[in-house]
A and B are shown apart, each in its own frame.
Chain A
Amino acid sequence: MSRDTAALHEGHHPALAHHFDSMAQQSEATTLGMWVFLVTEVLFFGGLFATYMVYRSQFPEAFAAASHELDVTLGTINTVVLITSSLTMALAVHAAQMGQRKLLMTFLILTMILGGVFLGIKSLEYYHKFAEHHVPGADFHFVEQKYAQHAQIFFSLYFVMTGLHAIHMIIGIGIMLVMLWWSWNGTITEEYSSPIEISGLYWHFVDIVWIFLFPLLYLIGRHAH
């Protein structure tokens, strides 16, 4: 670092970029930027929700019949797992803001573990679907013949929506690994907790997607059976 650059860094936090006046302004800009990204994510998933809406409105009976093949118990457990991971994430942000480094690392690890549990249960469900021939394609088999064709549409949407959600979870766990590294090496401080905060925004967003996927995929017309 040249002397001039060193002089520029004097008198302010090392994490403050020069185009910001203060850490508070930088933090606000970071939050805003993350939200703008999340808007694109809302519309990205929104396209799939719109597709779901169109096909469910066209084939409500087939969607209900196909939905009955999903395991409500596993779906509910996964919902609880994900909500709990959102709590540990929120507590991680809190620990970061309070400058409690060990607590922050503990909550980040807990969040990652819960994310892993979610993905584990999800893959178990996928395994069941493959075993039951409920994966769309040449081997697809559905007990109620009259619904077979449209049930495939339901399962296509099921795999694409939960699959895209799972990819987001995997990316989220990757982000948490980086955050864990930054917490460990001292990059994250009481004054500079923005990275943890915006990672939290991402994690909670992924939780929200599941909050909608769960009733729409698992809970259609359950009273009928």
Chain B
Amino acid sequence: MSSHILPKRVYYTIFAILLFCTYLTVQIAFLDLGAWNTVAALAIATFKATIVVLFFMHVKYSTRLTWAVVLGSVFWLGILLALTMTDYVTRVWRHYG
């Protein structure tokens, strides 16, 4: 039982945006943007994931507690990735020449 039933056109719209973003991410990958290639790829992927979570997974219409759990997962993932990298990028274990 759901208190909020989304109209079907929302799903079709999100689907169209996801397809366009997939096209975009492939096209951008073949351009030489230097380090920005990775930034663009991750930005598009994050955007796609966000609209899937908000609309396909109905989080936009969920309770505040669900919001807290979803944001909590992103926060802890951030800690996992960021603190791991603070270690590796500050190690001097790579010697060239």
Interface magnitude class on chain B = 35 or more
Q: Mark A16-32, 1 if CB is under 8 A from B, else 0.
A: 00000001101110011
Would you call A124 an interface residue if the criterion is a C-beta within 8 Å of the partner chain's C-beta atoms?
no
For B56, the chain A residues whose CB sits under 8 A away are 86, 89-90, 200, 204, 207
Asked if residues B30 and A223 are in contact (CB atoms below 8 Å), the reply is: yes
Distance (whole angstroms) from the CB of B85 to the closest CB of chain A:
6
Would you call A221 an interface residue if the criterion is a C-beta within 8 Å of the partner chain's C-beta atoms?
yes
CB contacts between A and B, total, < 8 Å:
145
For B25, the chain A residues whose CB sits under 8 A away are 214-215, 219
Would you call A160 an interface residue if the criterion is a C-beta within 8 Å of the partner chain's C-beta atoms?
no
Would you call A192 an interface residue if the criterion is a C-beta within 8 Å of the partner chain's C-beta atoms?
yes
Q: Mark B75-97, 1 if CB is under 8 A from A, else 0.
A: 01100110011001100001000
What is the size, in residues, of chain A's interface with B at 8 Å between Cβ atoms? Answer: 58
Which residue of the partner chain, among B1, B37, B38, B73, contacts A223 with CB atoms under 8 Å?
Answer: B37
**Within residues 186 to 225 of chain A, which ones have a CB less than 8 A from any CB in chain B?**
190-194, 197, 200-201, 204-205, 207-208, 211-212, 214-216, 219-224
For A74, the chain B residues whose CB sits under 8 A away are none
A interface list, Cβ under 8 A from B: 23-24, 26-28, 31-32, 35-36, 38-39, 42-43, 46-47, 49-50, 53-54, 57-58, 72, 76, 79-80, 83-84, 86-87, 89-91, 94, 97-98, 190-194, 197, 200-201, 204-205, 207-208, 211-212, 214-216, 219-224
**Contacts known (A208-B53, A215-B41, A219-B26); A90 close to B11, Cβ less than 8 A:** yes
For A211, the chain B residues whose CB sits under 8 A away are 45, 48-49, 52
For B62, the chain A residues whose CB sits under 8 A away are 31
Asked if residues B84 and A54 are in contact (CB atoms below 8 Å), the reply is: yes
| Secondary structure class of chain B's binding surface, majority of residues | helix
For B41, the chain A residues whose CB sits under 8 A away are 215-216, 219
Asked if residues B29 and A222 are in contact (CB atoms below 8 Å), the reply is: yes
Bound together, the chains give a CA A26 to CA B1 distance in angstroms of 9
Q: 5 A-B pairs, CB-CB below 8 angstroms?
A: A39-B76, A192-B1, A200-B57, A204-B53, A204-B57
Bound together, the chains give a CA A201 to CA B29 distance in angstroms of 29
**Contacts known (A35-B66, A54-B85); A193 close to B2, Cβ less than 8 A:** yes
For A207, the chain B residues whose CB sits under 8 A away are 52, 56
Asked if residues A24 and B1 are in contact (CB atoms below 8 Å), the reply is: yes
Instruction: Give the 5 A-B CB pairs with smallest separation, nearest first.
Output: A215-B41, A219-B29, A39-B73, A223-B32, A222-B29
Bound together, the chains give a CA A42 to CA B38 distance in angstroms of 21
Asked if residues B2 and A43 are in contact (CB atoms below 8 Å), the reply is: no
Asked if residues A36 and B84 are in contact (CB atoms below 8 Å), the reply is: no
Which residue of chain A has its CB nearest to the CB of B57?
Answer: A204
**Contacts known (A35-B66, A87-B12, A211-B49); A27 close to B1, Cβ less than 8 A:** yes
